[in-house]
């Protein structure tokens, strides 16, 4: 088991036949993800041919619903690329079909819809990553010849290789930037949890997973203004985390009361500010960079000081 996903897991894509679904399904296939099904009730029974980068096309069958796709292919993971108004039904359909991991890329989903689906997923033992997130990428263990990486969502492939770092982020773009800044070190997995007020997997839960992962030696945490998820994660880490963390918090210059990009990125009072988050993180011994580049350099220093590289 890699971070939240089995090695070589079979994946279905809800909304595969739309523009975004088509684009990113092909990109995920080229990254080595084992995509076995698409879901679109209007195109059930058809198939879509993709260039998987191996010199031959890959035909992916389209099913009417998740239950049919799972029954035919054994898929245990779904990636969702459907418009916001269809996202609640898509998540519930995946949950009802027994899908174990549901990665929701869609942004603009009403908070009530997300809250309802996250609660239903918890009842059924399913995990949601997102919504409004770049997804999850796991890198293969170089010591395991049978290990395969998995790219679920829109995280660019090929910008990093395997290494000792785990990355957790509320921001898609900053996920890619820190991956690039630390490409000389490498990662076990990179997860974008999403920037909405309610998400299926929290910063704290992702930290717990990396803490339990034997390959991960240190974590990079990317936060942003709004809410107190960073503070909760910091307090848990102070008591339980056995691995070093370096953090970056976006939004030091954000004006109070104005939403900045993500639906959850709005400051109300002091606790949601970047400065408040920085103070809490540093108060429990987590170093915080003021820029992505500085954050990467701090991490390199921590790795060398603790002889992790």
Residues annotated as catalytic are 262
Cα–Cα dist 44/63, whole Å: 4
Helices (H), 156-288: 172-181, 203-212, 229-240, 274-283
CA–CA–CA angle 128, 123, 78 (5° rounding): 30
Give the 3-state DSSP-derived string for 39-91, with helices as H, strands as E and coil as C. ECHHHCCCEEEEECCCCCEEEEEEECCHHHHHHHHCCCEEEECCCHHHHHHHH
In terms of phi and psi (left: phi > 0; alpha: psi -120 to 50; beta: otherwise), the region of 263 is alpha
- φ/ψ of 3, rounded to 5, equals -65, 105
Cα–Cα dist 279/283, whole Å: 6
Return the structure tokens found at 100. Answer: 């174990």
Cα–Cα dist 2/262, whole Å: 28
Tokens 């919504």 belong to 131
Given CA atoms 198, 203, 204, 209 in this order, what sign does their dihedral have?
positive
């Amino acid at each position: 088991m890699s971070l939240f996903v089995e090695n070589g897991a079979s994946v279905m894509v809800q909304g595969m036949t739309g523009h975004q679904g088509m684009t990113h399904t092909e990109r995920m296939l080229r990254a080595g993800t084992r995509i076995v099904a698409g879901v679109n009730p209007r195109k059930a029974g058809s198939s879509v041919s993709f260039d998987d980068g191996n010199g031959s096309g890959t035909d992916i069958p389209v099913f009417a619903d998740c239950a049919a796709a799972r029954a035919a292919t054994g898929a245990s993971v779904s990636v969702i690329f459907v418009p916001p108004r269809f996202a609640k039904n898509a998540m519930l359909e995946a949950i009802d079909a027994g899908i174990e991991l549901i990665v929701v890329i869609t942004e603009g989903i009403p908070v009530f819809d997300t809250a309802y689906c996250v609660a239903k997923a918890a009842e059924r033992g399913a995990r949601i990553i997102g919504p409004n997130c770049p997804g999850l990428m796991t890198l293969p263990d170089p010591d395991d010849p049978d290990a395969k990486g998995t790219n679920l969502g829109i995280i660019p492939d090929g910008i990093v290789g395997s290494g000792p770092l785990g990355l957790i982020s509320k921001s898609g773009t900053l996920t890619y930037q820190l991956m690039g800044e630390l490409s000389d070190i490498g990662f076990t997995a990179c997860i974008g949890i999403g920037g909405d007020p309610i998400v299926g997997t929290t910063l704290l839960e992702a930290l717990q997973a990396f803490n339990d992962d034997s390959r991960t030696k240190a974590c990079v945490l990317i936060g942003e203004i709004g809410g107190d998820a960073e503070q909760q994660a910091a307090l848990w880490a102070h008591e339980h985390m056995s691995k070093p963390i370096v953090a970056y918090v976006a939004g030091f210059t954000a004006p109070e009361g104005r939403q900045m990009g993500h639906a959850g990125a709005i400051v109300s009072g002091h606790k949601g500010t970047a400065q408040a988050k920085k103070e809490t993180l540093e108060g429990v011994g987590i170093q915080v960079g003021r820029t992505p580049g500085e954050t990467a350099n701090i991490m390199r220093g921590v790795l060398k000081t603790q002889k992790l590289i």
